[in-house]
């Protein structure tokens, strides 16, 4: 099977020369475009999630030989969560080569975190099935790059940290309120306010409500600790 020009270029960015190109095509095929004779990437996503998890667990285990499980777990979660997978997918242009049905095309599927993350995991599985674990490991470590080195900072959940800060001072847990939602339906931007019992507030804006809450919590922590 010969790859199209755009998918061939994507394979180059990925850093793996496929012996079985059909695996990559399948990894980039969303269920919305599936026909009775065409496989989609859902099963590959399942496998890729596990391969990614093993590579990251191994990398963290080797990088810090003194870290306890309670320290390693949040670092691991930061590296394998959907948002991180979607970030990596955007960096190598997964969205531009995704094969989507008309409904997903109309609703901005190429930019959705969930679709990008799922496709990224499916691509990892395709590399694993094509070249084995070492090939998949090499691709993952290359793509995740310095995220692994800075994971301790990324693993700090600002919402949890802010709640602990408030409770340590006898305050109720922070309250989050959606203040605004703008932008098109397929690419909304949320504005969320976080408020403490003391009256301290901050706002955050992001493409999902959860991310906006995290941004608000981070902004308030910076105000309170500087």
Looking at the DSSP bridge assignments, the partners of residue 203 are: 193
Q: Kindly state whether residues 136 and 56 are assigned to the same domain.
A: yes
Q: Kindly state whether residues 32 and 139 are assigned to the same domain.
A: yes
Q: Kindly state whether residues 140 and 171 are assigned to the same domain.
A: no
CB atoms within 10 A of CB 87: 16
Identify whether 121 is a catalytic site residue.
Answer: yes
Q: What is the pLDDT of residue 204?
A: 93
Q: Kindly state whether residues 129 and 33 are assigned to the same domain.
A: yes
Question: Of residues 126 and 36, which shows the higher confidence score?
Answer: 126
For residue 35, pLDDT beyond 80: no
Q: How many CA atoms lie within 13 A of 134 on its CB side?
A: 0
Domain boundary among 128, 154, 180: 154
Catalytic annotation, pick one of 49, 104, 130, 193:
49
Find the domain containing 77 and state its range.
Answer: 5-154
For residue 37, pLDDT beyond 90: no
Domain boundary among 100, 120, 154: 154
Looking at the DSSP bridge assignments, the partners of residue 206 are: 190
What's the pTM?
0.74
Catalytic annotation, pick one of 45, 104, 118, 121:
121
Q: What is the pLDDT of residue 153?
A: 60
The total number of structural domains that make up the chain: 2
For residue 20, pLDDT beyond 70: yes
Give mean pLDDT, residues 135-148. Answer: 94
Give mean pLDDT, residues 22-31. Answer: 94
CATH of the domain at 142: 1.10.1520.10
For residue 154, pLDDT beyond 70: no
Proportion of the chain above pLDDT 90, given as a percent: 58
The Cα–Cα gap between 61 and 42 comes to 29
Give mean pLDDT, residues 124-148. Answer: 96
Q: What is the pLDDT of residue 200?
A: 96
The Cα–Cα gap between 171 and 164 comes to 10
């Amino acid at each position: 099977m010969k790859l199209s020009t755009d998918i061939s270029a994507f394979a180059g960015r990925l850093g793996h020369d496929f012996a079985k190109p059909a695996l990559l095509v399948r990894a980039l095929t969303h269920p919305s475009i599936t026909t009775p004779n065409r496989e989609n990437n859902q099963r590959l996503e399942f496998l890729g999630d596990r391969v990614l998890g093993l590579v990251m667990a191994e990398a963290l285990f080797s990088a810090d030989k003194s870290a306890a499980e309670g320290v390693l777990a949040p670092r691991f979660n930061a590296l394998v969560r959907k948002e991180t997978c979607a970030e990596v997918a955007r960096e190598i242009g997964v969205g531009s080569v995704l094969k989507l049905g008309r409904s997903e095309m109309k609703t901005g599927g190429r930019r959705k975190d969930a679709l990008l993350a799922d496709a990224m995991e499916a691509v990892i599985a395709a590399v694993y099935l094509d070249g084995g674990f070492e090939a998949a490991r090499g691709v993952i470590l290359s793509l995740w790059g310095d995220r692994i080195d800075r994971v301790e900072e990324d693993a700090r959940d600002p919402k949890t940290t802010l709640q602990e800060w408030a409770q340590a001072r006898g305050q109720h847990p922070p309250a989050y309120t959606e203040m605004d939602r703008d932008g098109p339906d397929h690419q909304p931007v949320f504005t969320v306010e976080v408020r403490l019992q003391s009256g301290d507030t901050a706002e955050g804006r992001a493409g999902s409500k959860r991310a906006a809450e995290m941004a608000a919590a981070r902004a308030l922590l910076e105000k309170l600790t500087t």
